Amino acid sequence: MLMNFLLRKTCPTDYSPKLLLMNTELKERHILITGASRGLGRSLAARLAPTGAKLSLLARNFNELEALRNSLDGRIAVYGADITDRQALGDALSYFRDQHGRFDILINNAGTGAYKPLAESSVDEVEVTLAVNLESVALLTHRLLPDLRESDNARILNISSDLGRRPLANMAVYTASKHGMAGLSQSLTRELAKDDIRVMMLNPGIIDTYFGGKDQGDTPPPYGIDPDDLADIAVFMLTRPGYLLMDEVTVHPMKQDF
């Protein structure tokens, strides 16, 4: 794995994942992760906690967030809120600022969707998918821009999907939302470069997580991506030198049927 290769190159006699993650690029940085209670969000929190970053974790289930915080060492604040509830989101951001100060890095990880024909989807399902996967990403990014513009070497990482670059039957609304995220990310990459804000997008294929009502473990490697491995790639993207922009990365499990 790439991370282990880098560790062997830098620490040939004594290496562990924590050594590489102790990166000065992330120490004392205030990082907001949405959808942090499960799956990739949970793995991201676990990978980033040892870096010395100040983590703000947002998800609907406060009890799961609290259990995650208790399992990790580091400066971690949690808040339970629905990301599509604008008042609750504003309250969460105010709480996180009180705890950790100005935001430096935003990871838009929260997402929802189902494998279902459009005709069989309810109006509520359509609205929720678009609200979580696209509208909330745009609005949250908008809210954090004043902070990010004041930060030195700010970053935005949008967790999208390989479907953001290709269509798939029976996932029309989800695919549309991820195409929208791709457009948002690529436009902001160019718009915010003048502010030294790096905007990046990670497009995973099938992840072994809770998507579409599955449980973690239902789609193990090589048929699905281990969330910990995907988190390693995300952290690698976030910790490149400030002049280097990994604006879009796509990754799949080997046994995914393209």
- Active-site residues, by number, are 174
CA–CA dist 39, 92 (Å, integer): 21
- Distance in angstroms (rounded) separating the CA atoms of residues 204 and 195: 28
User: Alpha-carbon distance 245 to 56, whole Å?
Assistant: 24
Residues 58 and 79: beta-carbon distance below 8 Å: yes
58 contacts 34 by C-beta, under 8 angstroms: yes
Displacement of CA 79 from its chain's centroid (Å):
16
Closest CA to 171 of 215, 120, 218: 120
Exposure pattern of 87-107 as b/e (b: 16+ CB <10 Å)?
Answer: ebbeebbebbeebbeebbbbb
Using alpha carbons, select from 77, 59, 80 the residue that is nearest to residue 69: 77
Q: Which residues contact 60 (CB under 8 A, 6 or more apart)?
A: 37, 80, 81, 82, 83
